[in-house]
Chain A
Amino acid sequence: MAIGDFIRNSQVWKSIFRHPAPRDRRNRVVVMLTNVFLHLHPVSVRKSGIALSYTWCMGGITFFLFLVETVTGVLLMFYYRPTLEHAYNDILSLRDVLTLGILREMHRWGAHAMVITIWLHMYRVFLTGSYKPPREFNWGVGVILLVLTLLLSFTGYLLPWDQLAIWAITVGSNMARATPLLGYEGPGAKFLQIGGVELIHSGSDARFLLLGGRFVGETALLRFYVLHCVAIPLAVALLIAVHFWRVRKDGGISGAL
């Protein structure tokens, strides 16, 4: 144990951990307060609130999967170029050339799993009535997170640029064409005209905005790529911060009063 003691007494160690190991009550409290990551948690929690049969661990697992997606996603970005010329082949070589290549698998199955766990998390929060005062607002934050998570999944679906991808996205984005007023096949869009000039046509409607074109092509690939890799993840990260902050400020995980 001499080496262990030597390390723990060194200036380097002490500069990182400002207090002894969390073996007694005092240090277990201090560790939660001095570590920025642990500080996401309160120091103590209601026992019922952390029971596996109560939260099903689903919020936490959703968060964990988000982190997994971030790490594997960044690694995937090293290999993938969002152009018609390269996209499909880059995915192919990910499978055929890369040693121990399960990167794409981890990313894809992790994303599927995250959709399931976020639903189960919402389901649990509903069934325990945890959206009731004072947690109404955090439930709303959660709903936005849910929508963003589905959009993350949806935008990522296009990137492999295979048959599965473009047709699934075509089916999905065709809906935008039918947006009331804003889609050129949507109710009411016909009435939006100035002096006989239609404002909403296939080159100016909601679907065009989403795809950057009249069909799922290279501009759509670029838009989905940017949304998938930058815009939506940033928004999700921000909202998760708000979500966690509010879990604590609303009195911690809910419990019977």
Chain B
Amino acid sequence: MHSNHLSSSLQIGLGFYYVILAIMNFAFASYQSKILNKRQAGIWTTVACLFLVHAVANFMHLGWTLSDGIKQSVDAVMNPVSYFVMAVAGLTAFLYWRKFFTEPVVAWTILSAGLLFSGWAMTDATFRAIITKPDNVPIVMLIFSVGYTTWLAMRKAVINDARIAIGEAPLEKLEDDKVLVWPDLVYTELLAMVICTFILVVWSVVLKAPLEAPAASSKIPNPSKAPWYFLGLQEMLVYFDPWMAGVVLPTMIIVGLIALPYIDFNQKGNGYFTFVQRRFAITTFLLGFVVLWVVLIVLGTFLRGPNWNFFGLFEPWDPHKTVPLNNINLSDYVWLFGFGRSMESMGWFMRELPGIALVLAYLLLLPPLLAKTIMRSYFVKMGFIRFFLLVTLIQFMMALPIKMVLRWTINLKYIVFIPEAFFNI
């Protein structure tokens, strides 16, 4: 079937989708007029009408589809590099201009634009096939819930930070009085249980759990993907061998999380949302959780196809797509290109010495160097053990982005390559 053909049920579905968006925007507009913001109310009423037009067009089966030009340009700019760089840039911008981004109107604009784009994207068969795979639905939920909670937390942080700056207590402090658990908490809990049960039952009725062909050890599917919550780790396999991506780095994540409360010596920011009082901790955690975990899961789910190749949002998963692989080891760079020497007669130790030296320097020299220079104040406050634990953990976390950048810029495959002992970094 040609991808431009839209089934009737799809268009009716999209029609309802746009009706919901229109209602949401009418509600937002009426909220704006309630707080006496006439201009905003006008804007969002217009937007709501725009969604209504979309709804009508779909109900009338006009067959509106996203133009091929737009799809191709989206796919053309999408690749692992731009995807990751945009995620980091997005997080940086969000933190830097947090006052702007946590304005409800700004967030609402981004949400509406995203939903509008999704609606149009759904008219593409490739996009639709990936997004509506039953097992991928949780990832869509993950995107929205992590996005919303990040926004919410930062909004409260911005408000609290402004209050703290003028000597007032954070918002949480205003509700310091105690209330009885019965009825104040138990009724909330009951309500939460009812709502959750309702959502889960509806979800289960609407979407059947997937069941593929019976297991056959001879037919390897391509791509073979781990369960979605491990796709961040699987993505790391592009840059590291399994012993790093599958064992060492996950172990470091767990160790790092458990150690976190003992490393963070900052007494402030306990029991309320804030950013200013915990800049370093929050930035590091957001980088780790949002970018290096959630963003990579989204990448692994939606954008990695056969042979773990990267595919744009609208690019059909072609199992024959070939991507040239011309990655080079550090030892090649040093001996072949640097000294013009062949490595044939060299033992592994000599051959890998530059890489080993580099890794050792990274792990052993960098921490004391940081302690003496830019992180001196941390070192003084934290003491020896805490400081080295912190720096080592961050070094392991940064190993991934560092390896990514080296791969993208100089096609580096391995820094240390000792296949004899399965020791490749």
Contacts and interface: CB of A to CB of B under 8 A. Distances in A.
Interface of A: 22, 25, 28-29, 31-32, 38, 41-48, 50-54, 56-57, 60-61, 64-65, 68, 88, 91-92, 95, 102, 104-106, 108-110, 112-113, 115-116, 119-120, 123-124, 126-133, 135-136, 139-140, 143-144, 146-147, 150, 153-154, 157, 160-168, 170-172, 174-180, 183, 185-191, 215-217, 254-257
- Most A C-beta atoms less than 10 A away, residue of B192, B242, B282: B242
Contacts, number: 275
A179 B243 contact: yes
A95 B219 contact: no
A61 to B, nearest CB: 6
Interface string B116-153: 00000000000000000001011001100110010011
A241 B140 CA distance: 32
Given A178-B241, A180-B243, A256-B176, A215 B226 contact: no
B224 A167 contact: yes
Contacts of B197: 68
Contacts of A112: 135, 137-138, 228
A104 B200 CA distance: 12
Nearest to B138: A112
A165 B272 contact: no
Nearest to A167: B224
A174 B242 contact: yes
B178 A47 contact: yes
Given A28-B182, A44-B178, A102-B205, A140 B196 contact: no
B184 interface: yes
A129 B260 CA distance: 11
Interface string B225-248: 111111001100000011101111
Query: How would you classify the secondary structure of chain A's contact residues: helix, strand, loop or mixed?
Result: helix
Given A112-B137, A127-B153, 20 more contacts: A31-B182, A41-B185, A48-B176, A52-B188, A60-B192, A115-B229, A120-B149, A123-B146, A129-B274, A132-B264, A136-B262, A143-B257, A162-B215, A167-B221, A171-B224, A174-B246, A176-B246, A180-B247, A256-B170, A256-B172
B145 A120 contact: yes
B323 interface: no
A36 to B, nearest CB: 14
Nearest to B219: A163
CB-based closest 7 A-B pairs: A175-B246, A105-B204, A136-B261, A178-B242, A178-B243, A254-B271, A48-B175
Given A41-B185, A95-B211, A132-B264, A123 B289 contact: yes
